Homo-oligomer: A and B are copies of this chain.
Amino acid sequence: MTILDKINSPQDVKELTVEEMETLASEIRNGILTRVNAIGGHLGPDLGIVEATIALHKVFNSPVDKFVFDVSHQCYPHKMLTGRKAGFTNPLENLEISGYFNPEESEHDTFIIGHTSTSVSLATGVAKARDLKGENYNVIALIGDGSLSGGEAFEGLNNASVLGSNIIIIVNDNEMSIAKNQGGLYENLNLLRETNGKAELNYFKTFGFDYYYVENGNDIEDLIEVFESVKDTNKPTVVHIHTLKGKGYKPAEINKEWGHWSLPHILDEKSETSSQSEDYNTITTNYILEKQKQDKTVIAITPATPGATGFGQDFRDALGKNYTDVGIAEEHAVAYSSALAKNGAKPILAIISSFIQRTYDQLSQDLALNNSPATILVNWGTIMEMDVTHLGSFDIPLISNIPNIVYLAPTCKEEYLKMLDYAVEQTEHPVVIRVPYGEVISSNKKDETDYSVLNKYEITENGSEVAIIGLGNFYHLGKKVKEVLKAENINATLINPKFITGIDEELLNKLKENHKLVITLEDGCLDGGFGEKISRFYGNSDMKVLNFGGDKEFTDRVPLKVLYEKYHLTPELIVADCKKCL
């Protein structure tokens, strides 16, 4: 019987000796590896935080004391100590436990959390609620993995520091973000590490926090000692712990960026697999590399997610000073891109759909209001089977209702490349491109469209009665719908709108001549999206309109097939709906 076998709640951790806790740490690491090997997931962050999590549960008293884990992708050890170990050790139960904090899973999880830099802000609210209610417990925020560079973390620190009561912020300093840490702040963390926390120049102390440093953040005894000493403090307190990302799994210790997150079968394979086949990321990076050779003002920008958008180490090395990783700082990434473009450079910012949510005001004020001709690529904009915190369904409502932005939806490689080049070379508009999701599709013919003529849709197949407007990824769904309609003896028109942010009034009016029904297909949330604008356009006419897309809802790892059935996003269901209107 292992130690872990005996742990069913944090209470059980409190009974253990330090030696037993060290054994437990190694069992937890096995659990993490077992899970990641089976279903993929966050590896390095979780391996690094094992000892700290054990020590936190030894010292504090969850759920009376409240933990808020930033990003929450470092919560695997916490989950294993709070009744959910089967989600790690038993491959059959892996999928029943999510990779993020979730109060629906356990009372030991305080919030659903998935985006970074939120923990200190949230914990400040928890602590203030406690104070207003006259209650008495510890509130502990765990922040790390580069999250300190996000604006919300700073705003939280600035306010937590004047709370005037108990709040304990554990800074998990593993020297890394997903990729390398970026920004001057991290020099200060270096200095603090080098001086064993003693340097007078101390980011946390500038706010007024009580400050503690633990050099070996993977030493359970050291951690327990410090946690005991700050427990029940009545002052805002920072405990800065120096941990090793990936600890206990050599490949992840050595290559920390690679080990941050892993696909399944990490243990089964000898080395990092890097697929050589073309995908939309390689198309992007090849384009940028080629362009930058011709133009020294081309610059690629990432907000700390270079891997997700294909900005690998070779790419970064090749670009040198024409590459900026701003760290987890999406707001700055957009403002920075805007200013670069406004001053004659050619920035290309690649950002994941779910994270562009962090930049609405910068898109509006810094970028769109200034009509800065920056290029922004939105990746992973699609309805998908994904954790509820990282959905790609909302970028169209978010971006497309901001004035001045040109939001483009390519349907294939050739269009994407043409749009990319248009975006980079033009000087009139902020241009955002929704990078196609999934396998590369080629039209096998060069795209000759002049995208400077805005809002011109393309009729790709002429027909009558029904017109199908298939946006971006869903253009191909539109093609299939056309096929099914053909079997019903309806020769539908197929349209590739290309532009998300505008209406082709001339084309839409012309459709009235010989169409009764227009259907729109978009790969995202319908509310506030593309199709509704078509519905509005036809509101005063006899044209019937059906909008197909996702519901306005948060879905948590729901299989795509289930979502497509629910949203009527299969050709058969769409055609059935059409027939009701004809």
Q: Which residues of A contact B (CB under 8 A)?
A: 66, 68, 103, 110-115, 118, 121-126, 128-134, 149-162, 182-185, 187-188, 200-203, 205-209, 236, 296-297, 299, 321-322, 324, 326-327, 329, 331-332, 335-340, 342-345, 347, 357-358, 360-362, 364-366, 368-370, 388-389, 394, 397-398, 400-404, 525-529, 531-533, 535-536, 538-542, 544-547, 552-554, 580-581
Chain B nearest CB: distance from A378 CB in Å? Answer: 14
Interface of A is mostly: helix
Given the interface pairs A124-B336, A345-B133, the reply to whether A544 lies near B540 with Cβ below 8 Å is: yes
Given the interface pairs A365-B389, A552-B403, the reply to whether A121 lies near B336 with Cβ below 8 Å is: yes
Residues of chain B lying within 8 A (CB to CB) of residue A123? 339
- Complex: how many Å from CA A536 to CA B536? 7
* Of the residues B66, B125, B184, B340, contact of A340 by C-beta under 8 Å: B125
Residues of chain B lying within 8 A (CB to CB) of residue A118? 335, 362, 365-366
Asked whether, in the complex, the Cβ of A132 is within 8 Å of the Cβ of B322, the reply is yes
- Complex: how many Å from CA A188 to CA B126? 25
Residues of chain B lying within 8 A (CB to CB) of residue A326? 155, 159
Given the interface pairs A128-B299, A206-B184, the reply to whether A527 lies near B533 with Cβ below 8 Å is: yes
Chain B nearest CB: distance from A188 CB in Å? Answer: 4
- Complex: how many Å from CA A289 to CA B547? 46
Which 5 A-B residue pairings sit nearest by Cβ, starting from the closest?
A151-B151, A125-B339, A161-B184, A184-B207, A401-B528
Asked whether, in the complex, the Cβ of A114 is within 8 Å of the Cβ of B357, the reply is no
- Complex: how many Å from CA A360 to CA B541? 35
Asked whether, in the complex, the Cβ of A545 is within 8 Å of the Cβ of B554, the reply is no
Query: Taking CB as reference atom, which chain B residue is nearest A364?
Result: B357
Asked whether, in the complex, the Cβ of A297 is within 8 Å of the Cβ of B133, the reply is yes
Asked whether, in the complex, the Cβ of A329 is within 8 Å of the Cβ of B158, the reply is yes
Query: Taking CB as reference atom, which chain B residue is nearest A128?
Result: B340
- Complex: how many Å from CA A404 to CA B555? 12
- Complex: how many Å from CA A324 to CA B110? 22
Asked whether, in the complex, the Cβ of B151 is within 8 Å of the Cβ of A394, the reply is no
* Of the residues B394, B546, B547, contact of A401 by C-beta under 8 Å: B394
Asked whether, in the complex, the Cβ of B183 is within 8 Å of the Cβ of A158, the reply is yes
Asked whether, in the complex, the Cβ of B528 is within 8 Å of the Cβ of A397, the reply is yes
- Complex: how many Å from CA A528 to CA B360? 14
Asked whether, in the complex, the Cβ of A344 is within 8 Å of the Cβ of B133, the reply is yes
Given the interface pairs A121-B335, A527-B533, A535-B532, the reply to whether A161 lies near B132 with Cβ below 8 Å is: no
Given the interface pairs A112-B370, A389-B369, A401-B552, the reply to whether A360 lies near B362 with Cβ below 8 Å is: no
Chain B nearest CB: distance from A570 CB in Å? Answer: 18
Given the interface pairs A111-B339, A128-B340, A369-B554, the reply to whether A159 lies near B532 with Cβ below 8 Å is: no
Given the interface pairs A329-B155, A338-B122, the reply to whether A365 lies near B208 with Cβ below 8 Å is: no
Residues of chain B lying within 8 A (CB to CB) of residue A187? 161-162, 207-208
Given the interface pairs A336-B121, A536-B531, the reply to whether A205 lies near B209 with Cβ below 8 Å is: no
Chain B nearest CB: distance from A508 CB in Å? Answer: 13
Asked whether, in the complex, the Cβ of A128 is within 8 Å of the Cβ of B324, the reply is yes
Given the interface pairs A124-B332, A329-B158, A364-B357, the reply to whether A111 lies near B207 with Cβ below 8 Å is: no
Chain B nearest CB: distance from A152 CB in Å? Answer: 4
- Complex: how many Å from CA A194 to CA B365? 36
Given the interface pairs A397-B401, A404-B554, the reply to whether A339 lies near B183 with Cβ below 8 Å is: no
- Complex: how many Å from CA A369 to CA B542? 39
Given the interface pairs A321-B132, A361-B358, A527-B400, the reply to whether A152 lies near B335 with Cβ below 8 Å is: yes
Residues of chain B lying within 8 A (CB to CB) of residue A394? 364, 401-402
Give me 6 A-to-B residue pairs in the complex whose CB atoms sit less than 8 angstroms apart, sorted by A's number: A126-B342, A156-B332, A185-B207, A187-B207, A398-B401, A539-B547
Asked whether, in the complex, the Cβ of A360 is within 8 Å of the Cβ of B152, the reply is no
Residues of chain B lying within 8 A (CB to CB) of residue A183? 158-159, 161-162, 207
Asked whether, in the complex, the Cβ of B552 is within 8 Å of the Cβ of A546, the reply is no
Query: Taking CB as reference atom, which chain B residue is nearest A347?
Result: B125
Given the interface pairs A114-B365, A360-B398, the reply to whether A344 lies near B129 with Cβ below 8 Å is: yes
Residues of chain B lying within 8 A (CB to CB) of residue A403? 552-554
Given the interface pairs A121-B339, A151-B151, A401-B527, the reply to whether A546 lies near B539 with Cβ below 8 Å is: yes
Residues of chain B lying within 8 A (CB to CB) of residue A160? 184
Asked whether, in the complex, the Cβ of B539 is within 8 Å of the Cβ of A129, the reply is no
Asked whether, in the complex, the Cβ of A158 is within 8 Å of the Cβ of B111, the reply is no
Asked whether, in the complex, the Cβ of B132 is within 8 Å of the Cβ of A297, the reply is yes
- Complex: how many Å from CA A160 to CA B185? 11
Residues of chain B lying within 8 A (CB to CB) of residue A541? 544
Residues of chain B lying within 8 A (CB to CB) of residue A336? 121-122, 124-125, 128, 156, 159
Chain B nearest CB: distance from A2 CB in Å? Answer: 35
Residues of chain B lying within 8 A (CB to CB) of residue A339? 68, 111, 121-126, 128-129
Asked whether, in the complex, the Cβ of A321 is within 8 Å of the Cβ of B527, the reply is no
Asked whether, in the complex, the Cβ of B132 is within 8 Å of the Cβ of A159, the reply is no
Asked whether, in the complex, the Cβ of A125 is within 8 Å of the Cβ of B370, the reply is no
Asked whether, in the complex, the Cβ of A331 is within 8 Å of the Cβ of B185, the reply is no
Residues of chain B lying within 8 A (CB to CB) of residue A207? 183-185, 187-188
Asked whether, in the complex, the Cβ of B200 is within 8 Å of the Cβ of A370, the reply is no
Asked whether, in the complex, the Cβ of B159 is within 8 Å of the Cβ of A155, the reply is no
Residues of chain B lying within 8 A (CB to CB) of residue A159? 182-184, 324, 326-327, 329, 332, 336
